[in-house]
Structure 1
Amino acid sequence: MPFAHLRNIAFLVPGNYRDDDPFSGLEETLRLIELGERLGYHSAWVRQRHLERGISSAATFLAAATQRTRHIELGTAVIQLGYENPFRLAEDLATVDVLSRGRLNVGVSAGPPPFSKLLGDLIDPVEELDFSYARAERLARALSSAPLANEAIAGNAAGSQVPRLRPFASGLTQRLWYGGGSLASATWAGRAGFHLLTGNIITGEGTDDFLTAQQRLIDRFLENWTQETLPRIGLGRVILPTDGADAVTRRRYADFVERRTARTLAPNGPKQTLFLPDIIGSIEEIAEILSQDPVLPRVSELRLELPYEFEVEDYQQILTDFASALQLGQDAQKAR
């Protein structure tokens, strides 16, 4: 099996819901994370999406997840910093990490907010702000909770205190990740000490082959890693095991994969974006496909990415099939 070397098996949930009933969808996503913990997954990640039927505030959502779980790591993949104030976001993330007792992983990306033209004056004027990688650096600096003055000052709380970001989440700055799709972003992430998140979308730079581009991305990241701690690379793949699915569900999965195949045949758009085909089949068939993946042996963390718009029963079946094949539940019991 091509999974023996992996030390962290994760899953990424979309957090989708119906417009007329957001509670049910969000509650189902929390229950999926609870299920993932019972099945033995090492970490659960959530997407943060804006103006869509998904999780628009990853920190708020994961605060709830901290109270429903005990062991599983929690992560954001990814928070688009263009929508955020780095200091206020740092306060929220630090609070979540404290509530989780140090289980939070923070994945971010930089750049201007994609929907800024639609949001108008609901956000700060784009032309007046810096949306470069420096925004991620400011987040990391805030999370370090360095004193903001040389002496205590009076505030709203009783007595005087040295002003600094509170609560201080010890170790969280060592669990910062960057969603990198280009060589430039991989270079910056390595130099800044952010771990690397990479999945099934990447920028084609000098090649039209996805796996070649992803290997180059990892090479660039590792070449630029400057920290004493070991770098981490989280690899995402869309994987749809069919072992526990009925015939109708298998056909629906196959149709989903077929609809998305066209985008994998050639670079897309001005950035030459490359997509990796989804992986579908029995666990044996999936293992055979992954055994031919030249990127997988280079990482120790694999992220099972769940597609949008599937039903909660589909997500349960996918997570259960994959965990059973990898014997995650048995491994988790041994570890405890």
Structure 2
Amino acid sequence: MITHLVNVHPDLDPDELVANLVPPPLFRTASFDSYKPSPEYPSQQEAVDALQEFTRRWTEPPRRGLFHRRRRGSGQATGIYLDGGFGVGKSHLLAALWNVAPQPKAYGTFLEYTSLVGALGFEHAVEKLRGYTLLCIDEFELDDPGDTMIMTRLLGELASTGTSIVATSNTPPNALGEGRFGADDFLREIQSLASIFTALRIDGEDYRRREIDSEAVPWTPEALDALVAAHESDGLQVSRDTFAEVIDHISTLHPVQYFALARSADLFVWPDVGRLARQDDALRLVALVDRLYDAQKPIAASGVPLTGIFSQEMLDGGYRKKYLRCVSRLDALTSLAHDEHDADACG
């Protein structure tokens, strides 16, 4: 069945928005046992051991005595910052920790939390998250001072009432010469909260080992028609809108509503892709692609390769890391569409 993304208008229900703060399907069953540390990088096993020790606050009965009462009475929860390069399993370990923590708990990207605050308002967002056992923040970003200040304030409010906070960051493989995000950068920007965080260093190689300069392969219009027909015959939901229509539609929605867009189809088809001229359009697309990537929804597109939609000026600007991460994810999702099509052809 063919549907259209432009016809999806999700409601902004506060309870549903908070309920969406869970690990993506890729990590729903992540555990410490399923993480395979490399013997070449001892820090990987050390991180697993430290996180398992961290979970004892929820699995062991509280200790009695003066020292324990003093720690609990401070009201200041401890936090962990997972410091490492791209593809060393930080998100896997973050999800594994979330999976063993007691409810209520939340797992989301930096963008998801800042979008939640934007949608609900700061006080309402704090009210919804206050009392949570654990807040997991994947891909903490520092490229927007305003968002960083909002997030620091949010974490301060929650940490003061006993919520434990664990965060990671990502440096995409395309960001050559930029190095990883780094614990020093993180702690410097959240000075008021730095004392509650312990940095766990995770060394290693990118397990994906993706090609740095790979380019998404566009489809011909005829091939797109054949792909859509094949998916329809298999009873799958196909969302088909021109790229310009997608960009126009997401400008009418709040980024927290993009969850519903990602769930609206099994395959997303975007004919007539063109390069983006406006930065606000580009940033909204980054948010949408993050949701599609979390859901592992393939994209098939014609026109300009999706990995080439950001101008050099955008790639050289303040949101460089966001755009490069998006390029990497667009490459993965378009490759997924080609892989599924090749598998069907062989079958």
TM-score (norm 1): 0.30
Larger RCO (CA within 8 A; separation ≥ 6): 2
Q: Which structure carries more strand by proportion? A: 1
Q: Which structure carries more helix by proportion? A: 2
